[in-house]
Structure 1
């Protein structure tokens, strides 16, 4: 008996994935829940386990193929594996229950294969086939709405009348390269994560009326407070006291006064959020990800530091889930860890604001008529001018500056 292995549900707003790696090859024995392959989505990596014990009889989607949700990946023949031949008697009920629990389609065992065979034998309408041939359309270009997926003439007409993507959206062709240079180049396919980063960042530039305002903050008070209490803080809470918790609390404080920066545009409506799900941008070997600290507005310093530390470890290990990166309402990006002195962060759609932190650098400052050397940091707030006015953006950044230069304001809600 053959069991289908299909693409599992990938998460909110994720409709397709790329087959990254097959851990097994046809003919290999597999156990229940043994990992067969790894799918790479535009957000996370998803492992696909075997729903039954048996032998991997066929791989349908090869490495590098793009597959949609519930697409067929492979076929596993039950009971054919030499090591798994002993429990053959009860296999009628056990594997069937396991398959019912893991099969994405939710249909009883055997039905998907039968449906697949039926669809393979389904004859498209003659008028549809003729129209497809005249317009050089392939079977995959038209979605059939007839019985068992049969393509009708109306389906072909609908596909022909569908709006075509603008030619301007295509990337410009690469210029010619000399043969000497070509031999010293390496062409590597972009990962889905990198493709998504590129697409979303460009969408942010094309969609939002993005503007950036700057300020600088004297980090003396925060650094003194941190140095004074960091040992006691770590001893009591089991986590180090960093700068991110101060910036998170300062942003939460400012977002309460300027709610536009914590809102988003949905069609012709503005959605104001009475909570703060703080996105913390993290650089990983595979690209930039933004795990979300949910309900950061109700957290204390210790909770924020623990959440950031946990998310950082999961990001570096590639263990972030879809839920870990969804629903953010505002983002903080710390380019200072890489030595950046000044930058203009790009919005993380559909959010309306992102704060850019930078390197702390000692500079001469005029303090009460005297020149003093102070640890200074440039701050940058990029915001969507469609929803956030200049006054609101500047006010937000000034409130963050005030809270960091005098952390006591956070305790007194000033």
Structure 2
């Protein structure tokens, strides 16, 4: 036997003796103490367990979403939503024992139709570092709804502006949809929603907006279920500013319109209202749209071929059904202030093509979407609250009763 071989055998004998001695040790005569030596590291999918599975599809918005390790501790977990070339991290935290990660409750549900990535780093029970990367995709709804809204973003409006949503589908879960739309004002004022049927939701304060109010409308409708299987798509914020107060009162019997700014009378304008057979609605109406020139065809609003005027100047829409306050160049000038001849609209004297120095031009140039025009002393009913932005014709109690949140 060589000297090197003898040394090797001696080392082996010593190691066997050490193991034998350890195995023979007992504590108080009990069972032998078991010694485990570091072995092969676990595979990444075993060392770091991630739910949902890698490449999972159709994951519900409720998850589950979790990361855990059977031993050792998690060092870092990053869950990221990747959508439209933008990335957003999902807030979450590692438990005190280091064995699990979960999303914060405030994070809410996962976004639908979105891809997520999960990146986790952990140390196993022997301080060996492992890393794992997975992806999953959430459920993609086949049906989506959107809400078309007034007023326009960053617009300046009159004090009677009502925030109005018209949905492209019937809404069954009204409370959820209404809750997802928040409206705040500075200075602060309470704003309440009111449903007209299943496709329209309007919001207004108890009284007209205060001049100078800044209003923010947040539409958190993304992934809100409006009806079984139909989810919202909008995640949008708009703002608008309330301008000066201008409220005009049309007296159909006196053939006049009094225009008040901040409560002060600034002008009394001669008008012509609806003829006895085609009277003008009574009540508070809000300017919805402004047209320098527009066509008015009686067939579009239930009349026959009684009129078709291609170039009506200075037209201001007051109702969805077709009531306008507009310039009139075809009637005799003596008509204004003395006779009601229209088919239900309110006419102001004007020139063909629209003149800025006419009564119609003067009023048009000083009007905002959201200004209030109230008609009194007409031989007609009060305009319906859902005909245009007519919600000011309802009492506050009736308005609040139409909210799905009350």
Output the TM-score relative to the length of structure 2. 0.25
Larger radius of gyration: 2
Q: Please identify which structure carries the higher helix content.
A: 1
Q: Please identify which structure carries the higher strand content.
A: 2
Output the TM-score relative to the length of structure 1. 0.25
